[in-house]
Structure 1
């Protein structure tokens, strides 16, 4: 039983850290000042504390509704990230208009899907460790605060060093996250249905899989290399 508890606790910590880093990356790519990033991190921490305080008093039926709401909002946010990611990137490349101060909110603000995930994290944490809801909320809030602050500072530093501190980079990240959100909604139901399906032996070809992986990597590297050459030529011609 202790192994299961440790596994669930590690999952809660890992999921919370990923959500915090996602928000921190959005703050770092939007050029927020450090005090603004700290304010957003404090808002996340306070929200997690409040959710933890009320998590234990919510009935199971309401918990199921929260999970359902999180899935629906997951789809909406994924589509919004793709759309506004394209708009952010296009506005910067075509007209040099910076929309990052508004569109980063889709990445960084505590959306309903993040709130549902925070609620489930607090609920699982209290169930597995026996902590009070307030203590669990404080732990989850502390993770959010540290992850958002650290993620924002590190992301801002990396993009400045690499010369990528522009709204186009935020647009690329939003596109990636949006497609990832939508892919998760396709893969998770398929995975759950596969658990009930009879198992079949499938012959695999490791050499062929390796060749396909190498080919995909080469194509991606070629695209990145070509894009860098194009950008270098444009800068040199100005």
Structure 2
């Protein structure tokens, strides 16, 4: 109860601070918008446009790209009324850039074209060949973002599955399941609020975080070895009718350093993409919590025996998965620095994926055989 009360108090404190900071900023922006409207009412359209552009830049710095795009558009419309077409063109292009960052290539194209039309009013032979290049980049980023989001979701489900398998096979009660799911919800939720309060230092912190990649590899190796060792130990003890699953399941259920870093990077990724910190916290925390609850429910309702032996097998499987991650992921890190062009997928590109899937199937087969031999040997 004391722990629950402390977590609730921390949540209320961070939420209150974030809301107060947000409210103060909203007042300043609202004052600027009110002043811009007054300027527009008396026909000072160019000055109104400049204020709207200033508001747009504020929202863009806060990664609120949808709001930034709307204010860039408002600024452009007032610049058009003032017949300052160069400024109008710049504002429309800025709006297009916001949509491009949001991977909305259709709206980006629309505002880029409108910006180019305004430039042609002062430069008749203005060339807009840059639009095609920007849209190509937008589409490539859209594909890469989709793949990145898919990878992030699979990563979250992987860590949630680890916790769910531990809860399911250890036959933990409802209160225990809800407590673990609550922990997985609260950690990313609080992380998102903290990231939202310190956007300016986010990129620097992420860069610093990447300098500790060897430490994270060591953490993951430690967790993998512990899972393998305790998995075998759980099976061995159960063979002598000694049930230690209520202790060893904690290694599966509680967040490890690697999963906490995954939560942080996931929250940071979505906030950088322009989502509000509060919504990111609900999204990431909700995916973790719901995945744990659903997978645990499916395991408990399935016909699979909920025994320490099966818990040990699950621990061995996730231990092997962690080990394979350490082996395979570093080999693909240099891809980050490459110039990637999106093209068709050839048969040669599919073969490595099929080989990896085949290796994982073979590993699963040998893990099961190894477990059976260990039981017979014991």
Correspondence 1:120 to 2:265: yes
Correspondence 1:80 to 2:226: yes
TM-score normalised by the chain length of structure 1: 0.75
Q: Determine the C-alpha separation between the residues in 1 that align with 2:275 and 2:335.
A: 35
- One of 135, 151, 168 as aligned partner of 2:309: 168
Report how far residue 132 of structure 1 moved. 1.8
Q: Determine the C-alpha separation between the residues in 1 that align with 2:320 and 2:249.
A: 16
Q: Determine the C-alpha separation between the residues in 2 that align with 1:63 and 1:70.
A: 14
Alignment of 1:37-76 (within 5 A): 37-56=177-196, 57=198, 58-67=201-210, 68=213, 69-76=215-222
Whether contact under 8 Å (1:70, 1:117) holds in the other structure is no
Q: Taking structure 1 as reference, are residues 180 and 152 closer, same or farther at Cα in structure 2, changes over 3 Å only?
A: same
**Greater Cα radius of gyration, structure 1 or 2:** 2
Aligned to 2:246: 101
Moved more, 74-83 or 54-63: 54-63
Backbone CA RMSD of aligned residues: 3.0
Aligned to 1:30: 170
Q: Taking structure 1 as reference, are residues 187 and 8 closer, same or farther at Cα in structure 2, changes over 3 Å only?
A: closer
Whether contact under 8 Å (1:29, 1:169) holds in the other structure is yes
Q: Determine the C-alpha separation between the residues in 1 that align with 2:264 and 2:329.
A: 20
CA deviation digits over 1:145-166, x for unaligned, max 9?
11011111111222xx23x211
Whether contact under 8 Å (1:12, 1:125) holds in the other structure is no
- One of 156, 160, 163 as aligned partner of 1:20: 160
Correspondence 1:143 to 2:143: no
Q: Determine the C-alpha separation between the residues in 2 that align with 1:195 and 1:14.
A: 19
Structure 1 spans left out of the alignment, 5+ residues: 197-202, 232-238
The 4+ residue runs of structure 1 with deviation greater than 6 A are 193-196
CA deviation digits over 1:196-227, x for unaligned, max 9?
9xxxxxx9xx9xx99xx7xx87xx49x87xx6
Report how far residue 195 of structure 1 moved. 9.5
Whether contact under 8 Å (1:50, 1:134) holds in the other structure is no
Q: Determine the C-alpha separation between the residues in 1 that align with 2:183 and 2:292.
A: 11
Correspondence 1:186 to 2:332: no
TM-score normalised by the chain length of structure 2: 0.49
Report how far residue 29 of structure 1 moved. 0.7
Whether contact under 8 Å (1:8, 1:124) holds in the other structure is no
Number of equivalenced pairs:
206
Q: Determine the C-alpha separation between the residues in 2 that align with 1:11 and 1:22.
A: 17
Aligned to 1:134: 278
Q: Determine the C-alpha separation between the residues in 1 that align with 2:181 and 2:209.
A: 23
Q: Determine the C-alpha separation between the residues in 1 that align with 2:267 and 2:159.
A: 14
Alignment of 1:217-236 (within 5 A): 220=365
